[in-house]
Amino acid sequence: MTGSPSCGAFLLSGTLPHSARHLSTSSALRNESLSSKKTHQEATEGHRQEMPGSSSSESSPLTKPSAISTVPDMVRGDWVLFHPVYSPEELKAVQVLHRDRKTISDKLAFGLVKFARTMFDFVSRYKHVEKPPAPGMTIDELRKGGYLLSEKQWLDRILFLESIAGVPGMVAATLRHLTSLRLMRRDSGWIHTCLEEAENERMHLMTFMTLRQPSLFFRLIILGAQGVFYNFFFLSYLLSPRASHRFVAYLEEEAVLTYTRCIADLEAGNIPEWTNLPAPEISIDYWRLHPDAKLLDVLYAVRSDETTHRFVNHSLANLNPATDVNPFALREPDMHVKGTKIEFERSESEQYVRQSHEIMQQNARQALAQKPQGPGL
């Protein structure tokens, strides 16, 4: 990856095939029926028939207040950006990894993340222990001692974290969008990846919101935390995009650890309220889960998403944000790579871009070869 204009132009060319964004890796499978014109027309027509003010507006699902009823049944999946759909093998391939701090900015970013985590654990009175402090303690005793989180505490923790985690991607996308407009040049593929991350984190929040409606006090805490964090990250990204991506990557390391512990607690029977709890409908739509999926399957999918953000942000932090092409603009490695490797070094990102170009050129040649030939002259 050299950041040359030709490389960026190739990645962002509008002449690329529609399927370029999700080449044939198992982490990028999509439901092709969702892109058909017939489905889109039916969805559009159905939406128009249920618009407020029509004769059927009182019974319209658009008037219901729940998190998932605002999406008409006939357009499931069309209302989100690109996101991976994982195979069962990929879901189990995730490892808890940590990147060593190599620079002063790395140490500062990691220190801020660890400080935030320590304070959050202190406020929530959570103490993670590998083994109970005393043998034979019941789940209630462990919860009272702060060694296990209850179902309510897990949801509070997840809702708070996801409401904050959706901020960095949107801030980065906004600033890069404005830079592209101001300098009147292409962005080399960074904006869409940042937007996809923000949307993905927001969908995590929407999923868990179906399990618990936060109190007014909790919402006020979110309001204050979001206001502080948005402005903090906005200024940070203006000063150093690379350090900001590193900060997000370390934050995602903690998210992977959190969901790994949550999964372990659930599988060990320490969250009995969630045992065999069906997956929310919105999560089945979003991750293309089996209709009989459980909440445990949702947690595995969310953890894989956080692993993707960990890998992508560490890799982006190794690039020059002003000149380098985003190596994930066209495709991403599957979870067997992202789940076991903490990042791409800059040279690896450059090689990955070259491979993407070769795949695109090969697909273009195959499409040209399969194109029916016209009658001879």
Q: CA 282 → CA 32, 177, 299, distances in Å?
A: 19, 30, 13
Domain covering 88-366: architecture: Up-down Bundle (1.20)
**Residue 348 annotated as binding site:** no
CA distance 359 to 153: 46
Contacts of 152 (CB under 8 A, 6+ apart): 212
Q: What would you report as the CA-atom Rg of the chain, rounded to the nearest whole angstrom?
A: 22
pLDDT at 213: 87
- Which DSSP symbol is given to 277? P
- Give the C-alpha distances (Å, rounded to integers) separating 109 from 91, 102, 233, 236: 28, 11, 12, 11
Residue 23: its pLDDT value, please? 36
| 78 class by beta-carbon count within 10 Å (0-12 exposed, 13-18 middle, 19+ buried) | middle
Q: Which amino acid is at 127?
A: K
Kindly give, in sequence order, each residue whose CB lies less than 8 Å from that of residue 340, ignoring residues fewer than 6 positions away.
Answer: 93, 95, 97
**204 annotated binding-site participant:** yes
- CA 106 to CA 372: how far, in whole Å? 55
Tokens of 54: 């029509």
Per-domain boundaries in the chain: 88-366
3-state helix, strand, coil in the chain (%, to 5): 60, 0, 35
DSSP label at 273? G
Low-confidence ranges of the chain (pLDDT < 50): 1-65, 67-75
Ramachandran angles phi, psi of 294, nearest 5°: -110, 170
Which 8-state DSSP code applies to residue 34? G
Report helix, strand or coil for 324. coil
pLDDT at 72: 43
How many C-beta atoms surround the C-beta of residue 305 within 10 A? 23
273 is in an annotated binding site: no
Q: What is the pLDDT of residue 15?
A: 34
Q: What is the pLDDT of residue 375?
A: 64
**Is residue 252 a known part of a binding site?**
yes
162 marked as binding residue: yes
In 3D space, the residue among 101, 137, 155 whose CA is nearest the CA of residue 299 turns out to be: 155
Q: Which residue has the tokens 């964004």?
A: 21
The structure tokens listed for 322 are 């002003």
- How many Å apart are CA 370 and CA 176, to the nearest integer? 39
State how far the alpha carbon of 38 is from the alpha carbons of 11, 61, 71, 139, 141, in Å: 30, 22, 18, 52, 57
